């Protein structure tokens, strides 16, 4: 027996098996690797700023890993994503371990597979009706490169693109009175 098979068998017997993170889009299954340290620090800071502002709007932020079925309202129970961060305001779509429908707002922080967030997910979120989609480019790892934020606003079924240098405070379009100060991220 190979070492990997032995470890798998031991994990199954002890119950310590970790379910792999995947996304399913358009009939393709995408395996997801664990995010890096810098990604997680940025994600935590984004969550902290949003969490303190959203309660008064009846909305809540959720961070990955959490299953979202963005096309659920269109009859698609197969398509599954795990956005880095999403905001939901419709609590009827929230289940214990999944969200059934398109969240109002999604943030993805770019990592190694940039085209997945910038093309595949962008097209999916547009089709699903996600009203606001932010793509955060944290810059090159290990360098003091400036962060950039692409804000995509859904209008008549298509995204309108707004670009920001990440030193700015950027307002959420779909939740007036909420913003993220990227100078603190």
Neighbours of 117 (CB within 10 A): 23
Sheet containing 60-63, strands listed edge to edge, beginning at the edge strand earlier in sequence: 60-63, 85-88, 105-109, 132-137, 148-155, 158-165
Give me the pLDDT at residue 165, please.
84
Structure tokens at 121: 């997910």
pLDDT band at residue 113 under the 50/70/90 scheme: confident
Of 2-11, 44-53, 74-83, 98-107, the one with minimum mean pLDDT is 2-11
Q: Find how far residue 91's CA is from the centre of its chain.
A: 18
Residue 89 lies in a domain: yes
Give me the pLDDT at residue 17, please.
53
Of 6-15, 83-92, 168-177, the one with minimum mean pLDDT is 6-15
Tell me the CB-side half-sphere exposure of residue 146, using CA atoms within 13 A. Answer: 8
Give percent of the chain above pLDDT 90: 65
Residue 4 lies in a domain: no
Rounded to the nearest integer, the mean pLDDT of the chain is 87
Residue 1 lies in a domain: no
pLDDT top residue among 8 and 92: 92
How far apart are alpha carbons 76 and 72 in whole angstroms? Answer: 5
Residue 87 lies in a domain: yes
pLDDT > 50? residue 85: yes
Give me the pLDDT at residue 2, please.
45
The CATH number that applies at residue 164 is 3.90.1570.10
pLDDT > 70? residue 7: no
pLDDT band at residue 1 under the 50/70/90 scheme: very low
Q: Find how far residue 81's CA is from the centre of its chain.
A: 8
Residue 143 lies in a domain: yes
Residue 14 lies in a domain: no
pLDDT > 50? residue 161: yes
pLDDT > 80? residue 6: no
- The residues that bridge with 23 in the sheet, in sequence order, are 30
- Tally of domains within the chain: 1
Domain span at residue 158?
Answer: 33-184
Q: What is the pLDDT of residues 14-44, one digit of tens each?
A: 554 566 789 999 889 998 888 888 899 999 9
Give me the pLDDT at residue 150, please.
93
Strand 60-63, strand 85-88: pairing: antiparallel
Residue that the structure tokens 């298509």 belong to? 158
C-beta separation of 183 from 176 below 8 A:
no
């Amino acid at each position: 027996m190979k070492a990997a098979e032995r470890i798998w068998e031991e994990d199954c017997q002890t119950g310590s098996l970790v379910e792999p993170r995947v996304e399913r889009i358009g009939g393709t299954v995408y395996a997801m690797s664990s995010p890096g340290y810098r990604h997680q620090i940025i994600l935590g800071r984004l969550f902290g700023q949003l969490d303190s502002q959203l309660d008064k709007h009846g909305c809540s932020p959720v961070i990955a890993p959490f299953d979202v079925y963005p096309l659920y309202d269109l009859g698609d129970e197969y398509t599954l994503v795990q956005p880095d961060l999403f905001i939901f305001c419709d609590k009827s779509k929230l289940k214990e371990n999944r969200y059934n429908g398109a969240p109002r707002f999604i943030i993805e922080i770019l990592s190694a597979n940039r085209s997945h967030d910038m093309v595949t997910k962008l097209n999916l979120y547009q089709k699903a009706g996600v009203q606001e989609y932010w793509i955060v480019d944290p810059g090159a790892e290990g360098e003091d490169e400036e962060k950039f934020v692409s804000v995509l606003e859904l209008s008549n079924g298509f995204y309108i693109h707004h670009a920001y240098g990440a030193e700015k405070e950027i307002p959420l379009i779909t939740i007036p009175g909420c913003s993220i100060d990227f100078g603190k991220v």
